[in-house]
Amino acid sequence: MRVLLQRVTEASVTVEQLKVAEIGAGLLVFVGVEPKDTSVQVAKLVDKTLGLRIFADTEKPMNCSVLDVAGEVLVVSQFTLAADTRKGKRPGFSTAAPPALAEQLFDEFVASMRLSYSRVQQGVFGADMQVALVNDGPVTFVLDA
């Protein structure tokens, strides 16, 4: 499982010209699921995502988590994070989980986040989404489990 985090001042997801999710300052979290992923990876990455200290306080530019600053979280499924780009110029997707497993683990990721934190929104799994964001910093991290 791979998660791409972006610290944002705002972000939104639109599907078929309808805005389905929108947040202010916080984290935009893209989630890519691989075939061997399980609930173990979900738990580790939810904990890491919510606890990663990438927000400023008065002492350091990266000293607080999204929880510490009461930021919002927008979670978006993104199978392209699991792409194999090692050979050639066309990405391969045999390294991405089948849709049924990916959806199950994505839903588990979102549900687990919501159990730990109430300020979580999500995109629509499998939809053609337009994601708008203002990256703050820019600050972007890739987390693997």
Active site residues: 78-80
Residue given tokens 């202010």 in the structure block? 24
Instruction: Name which of 8, 57, 40 is nearest 145 in CA terms.
Output: 40
The Cα–Cα gap between 101 and 87 comes to 26
CA distances from 109 to 23, 36, 48, 84, 129 (A): 18, 15, 12, 23, 19
CA distances from 133 to 6, 17, 81 (A): 9, 16, 18
Instruction: Name which of 11, 3, 2, 40 is nearest 138 in CA terms.
Output: 11
CA triplet 63, 68, 73: central angle to 5 degrees?
105
